[in-house]
Structure formats: structure tokens, C-alpha cells
Amino acid sequence: MSQVNVSFDFSNVEQTIAFLKKTQVSPAEIDAFISTKGVQTIIKKIRSNDSIARLTLQKVITGTKTTGKENNFQYSFIKSRLQETEDFLNKIKSGQQVILDSIQSLSAYLPEGKTINIKVCFIAGGYSSGFTLDDDDVFYIGMHQYKNDFTGIVNTCQQELFHNIQVFSYQRSKDLKKLQDAKENQALYGYYLAQHLFVEGTAEYVADIDKYDQSSSYIKDHVAHAAVNDNRMPDNFYLIEKLIMDAYINTDRSDVDVAYSILYDWGWNNVGYAVGKYIARSLVNEYGPGVLKKYLIANPMIFIRDYIKLANKKKQDIPYNFSPVFEQMIDTVILKLNS
């Protein structure tokens, strides 16, 4: 029997609230706070550094307006809502069992007999509502992003735990390294961008917002966000193909980080999330929910290849698809990884 064991860590939120309540701090106190694991995680996630963090905290404590990259920490926003943040933290602490109950069903996606131990770390800082980093046994929840909506916390815990299961099941980093070492830059760029259709799409499908209370503030925002993509799905498929193919063909002048941002960031309506979820739903509708376990232990290009083949076979039921050129690119990447 497979099992998911989950523990919770609230230390960063507690430390941040205590620190931001102060009206005066010494340089040593700032450095001690910056050195904590939670703040270092935030610095890594937003691609900042200790110097910017130090200046940001000095400004926030003294009531000076933060600017530029300092705003990425969002400490001014958190300080202006300290009591709300503390109340929400207590609500989450009292609802830990609700979260645990909601994610136990995800153990079905693990290989038979496997057990994983996951730590959920709540943080206060940064611009992300939920993320994982290098390890597969921790995920982070940006608690201040949720408008005090506990339902949103439960939904994100499902999404992020599924990401941990993805990492546990298949090491995509090894695929990337193989292509990089072989100097297969076309395949590398194509894989790097296309893999997230599987990564984000399947997580969106498993933690489907349609299953939740649509009136809750966090979920309501995400439903409106998703509706934009639902109404322009043909455009989404077109955009994804053009950006990935451009990165694949024009490797010398491509900026894959910009392409990633357009396809997978909130500011661009998470186009890739919506298309990935559509692909996942189509495959599950055809082959049953067990098919996701197959894709969890496979090169994510196979997820895309199988969808293309299914859409070619059922054009009336699945109207959105990629071109033969895109399909050939996916097949080429698979071939490179299998060689």
C-alpha cells in the first residue's frame, strides 16, 4: 500500500511576523533573520541576494518605501497586514487535518508499496503562492498570497504535493543533462519548454479548481483566470507551438526564459497550464485515470506525443492539436533521449 506522510513547518511565518512587528532592529538582528532557512529559500526563489534582502528589511522596518527588486520580497505588504497574517496562520494551524485529509488520495499516484515523506513549509515573502525547489520532499506555500482563503491553501497543497510526486517518480533533470552534455541544443530547448505542459497540466488536472467552492476569494480569482484560457484555447495551442518551435529552430537567438514566462507565468494567464490540463483531461477521458501513473514514470514528451496521436484519431471530439512539424519535433526529442 502506498502512503504519503505530511508534516507542516510554520517557522518562517512566525519568525517574519515577529521580526516585522519590531520598530527598531540592529544590523546583527537583520543578518540573523536573513540567515534563516525560510528567508534563504525566498531569496533563491526570487533570484535575489542577501544584500537586497538586507536593504529591503532596513527600509520596511523604518517605514521607507521599497523600490525595484526590493518589492519582490513583499515585506511592506506583509507588514501592513500583520494582524491578518497572524490570524490566518492560526486558522491554517487549526485546519491541518483538513489539509491532510484532502491530499491522502494522491497516494494512488505513487508506485505500489512506496511511501514518501513530505514537509509543507509555509513562508511569508516572495511573489509565489506555491513552489518546489531542488528537493522532492519539501514544498513551499506563500501564505500571504491567499487573501486569507483557507480553501486556496488546500487546493495549492494538492497541486504542490503532486509536483513532489512527479519529481519522486521521474528525474527530468537527467533528461536535460543528457541533452546538454550531448550539445543537443535544439532538443534541449524543445524539451525544457514542452515538459511543463506535463508538469503543470497534470497538477492542474489533479487539483482541479472546479471541485472547490467557487465563491472563495482565491479560487474565484483562479476561475476567472482560467476562463480567459478556456475562451481562447485555439490561440493557446498556436502560441505554444510557435514559441517552442522558435526556441527549437533558432537556438542561437532564442531566450527560453522569456518564452517560459510567456507560456507559464500568471501575468500571461498561465497559457501552458491551461493547455496541459486540457491534454491531461483528454487522455484521462480516453484511457482512464490510471493513465497518469504511466506518464509519471515516463519522459514527459510521451505525454504530448500520445495526445497528438489521440487528437489526430478523434478530431471531432478533440478539436485542438499541434501541427505535423511540432509532432516531428517531439518524436525527435524522444529519439535523442532514447539513443
Same domain, 245 and 316: yes
The domain boundary, picked from 167, 182, 202, lies at 167
Percentage of residues in the chain having pLDDT higher than 90: 84
Q: What is the mean pLDDT of residues 35-42?
A: 97
Q: Judge whether residue 110 has pLDDT over 80.
A: yes
Same domain, 97 and 115: yes
Q: Judge whether residue 134 has pLDDT over 80.
A: no
The domain boundary, picked from 118, 147, 167, lies at 167
> What is the rounded end-to-end Cα distance, in angstroms, of the chain?
35
Work out how many domains the chain is built from and give that number. 2
**pLDDT at site 212:** 85
**pLDDT at site 136:** 65
| CB 7 within 8 Å of CB 119 | yes
Same domain, 163 and 185: no
Same domain, 152 and 221: no
Q: Judge whether residue 13 has pLDDT over 70.
A: yes
| CB 46 within 8 Å of CB 121 | no
> What is the chain's mean pLDDT, rounded?
95
The domain boundary, picked from 106, 141, 167, lies at 167
| CB 146 within 8 Å of CB 166 | no
Spell out the long-range contacts of 133-137 with Cβ–Cβ below 8 A and sequence spacing 24 or more: 133/41, 133/44, 133/45, 136/164, 136/167, 136/168, 137/164
For residue 318, the enclosing domain spans: 171-338
Q: What is the mean pLDDT of residues 67-77?
A: 97
φ/ψ of 6, rounded to 5, equals: -125, 135
Predicted confidence (pLDDT) per residue in 255-271, tens digit = 999 999 999 998 888 99
Same domain, 193 and 324: yes
Same domain, 49 and 140: yes
Same domain, 44 and 130: yes
